[in-house]
Each structure stands twice: as C-alpha cells, then as structure tokens.
Amino acid sequence: MGNPFIRRLEGDGPLPGEHRRALEALTARPQAFGPREDVVRGGDELRTANVVMSGWACRYKILPDGRRQIVALFLPGDLCDPYVPLLGAVDRALGTLTAAAVAKVPAQALRALMAEGAGFAEALWGQAHAAVEIQREWAVSVGRRSALERIAHLFCEVAARLAAVGLSDGAECEMPLTQSDLADTLGLSTVHVNRVLQELRASGLIELRNRRLALHDPAALADIAMFDPAYLRRRGS
C-alpha cells in the first residue's frame, strides 16, 4: 500500500530519495487511536505535526451551547497541520472519527527538511493550499447548496480525495462517517441526513452500507452536486 503521506506529497512531483526516506522514517511509528478520540484538544499548543496514516480524523468546533461543526475531514495521507513553521500556533480540536493511526512528526524535523531545499517547502505549501480550497468549497456547499446537493458533493469530494491516495477507484470507497457525523459536517440535522440518504438510495445513485459507499452513477451525482473537481487538482509548478 505504501506510505499515503508520501503519496500525497508526491501528487505534485516526486521528492528526492533522501527526503522520501526521511519522511518514511518520521512516520514509521504512528500512534494508534480509537474512534472518537481527541488527538489534539482545542487550544493545545502545537509542537508536532499530525499525519493521518490510516483511518479518518477531523477538525471540529463545539459551540458553547453544544452545537458541533466539523470544519475539516482528514483522510489517510493528510497532514492535519501544514502550518508547521509556526511554533505554538493554536488550533481547533482534532479528533478521530474511526480508529486511526496518526504519526506525530516533530515540527522541528519538518522545518529541517524545508530548510534543505525549496522542493519540500513547496510540497507543504501545496498541502496547505489544497486544504483551503477544500475548505472554501465547503463554504459554498453549506452556504448555497441544498441538503441533497451538499451530501452528493461531499461524496464526490471524498471519493476523489481517496482516489488520489489509491483508496478508491472513483466509484466505491470507505465512508465510515455516521449520519450524525455527516450532519455535523454539512450543517444539517441527523434526521434530515437520513431522509436525503434514502432519497439518494431510492434514486439508485448510491449505495451506502456497512461504512462503504458505492457511487452507481458518478457523473449524475457530480451533476446534482455541481461538483467540479478542478479545486482538488493542482496545476503546474
């Protein structure tokens, strides 16, 4: 299966062998987490960069009155904190959704790699940029798409992102989020998520069972969602 982190970083171009080996070593001993565990609590200092090696995680915020919003989803290979150069930056809570292996890479080590050559720094900028683009597309979803469109869009996005690390063929993938996780991601209620999912199932567009998602007609789904994968790709360098 290889190292998903390296696969992601090399999405834009190969890394020098030494870097690859260094990263391999740095992520060799990930820490195991159960489902629904906090990796970093909100407000914690940040001296280590978290890389999801397997499983799913998310950043979330809980409002004083208990409402929860998941603001980012991290899939295998994702670097949760690309803002490595910033010592002590505070961040939101980071928690697992499924059981997960998370490599805690000392920020210092990444900083050293950055200092060694522009290539690695560029790869980190690339990760950061990708994260914002996803974030912005979520803003579009939650702000302007209907519940049906939102769910369809998220499924398209997740399938595409998983495909980028070899965990999907674009038509089938893991989907371990509970309906209530989905609700907190998309700004909906669980009940409504449930009903919309049934609608999607009834129309034959998707199948979702046992934490696995099948897109029976990806094109039609993308159409409903107004999903344009451009924002997930990086051009050029």
Residues in contact with its own copies by CB under 8 A are 43, 45, 59, 61, 63-65, 67-69, 71-72, 83-90, 92, 115, 118, 121-122, 125-126, 128-129, 131-132, 135-140, 142-145, 184, 186-187, 226, 230-231, 234-237
* In the complex, minimum distance from the CB of residue 38 to its own copies, in angstroms, rounded to a whole number: 17
Which positions touch DNA (CB under 7 A)? 146-148, 178-180, 183, 187-192, 194-198
Report helix, strand or coil for 36: coil
Say which entry of DNA, its own copies, none residue 144 contacts (CB below 5 to 8 A, set by partner kind).
its own copies
Residue closer to its own copies (CB basis): 65 or 219? 65
Residue closer to DNA (CB basis): 39 or 165? 39
Residue closer to its own copies (CB basis): 115 or 171? 115
- The tokens describing 16, both together, are 């020098």
Residue closer to its own copies (CB basis): 110 or 162? 110
| 87 secondary structure, DSSP code | T
Contact between residue 181 and residue 188 where contact means Cβ atoms under 8 Å apart:
no
**CA–CA separation, 193 and 150 (whole Å):** 10
Q: Which residues are 105's β-sheet partners?
A: 49
Say which entry of DNA, its own copies, none residue 17 contacts (CB below 5 to 8 A, set by partner kind).
none
The number of C-alpha atoms within 13 Å of 158 and in the hemisphere containing its C-beta is: 25
* In the complex, minimum distance from the CB of residue 44 to DNA, in angstroms, rounded to a whole number: 24
Conformational region of residue 44, where left means phi above 0, alpha means psi within -120 to 50, and beta covers everything else: beta
Residue closer to DNA (CB basis): 203 or 234? 203
Cα-Cα end-to-end distance for the chain = 27
Chain position carrying tokens 């490599």: 103
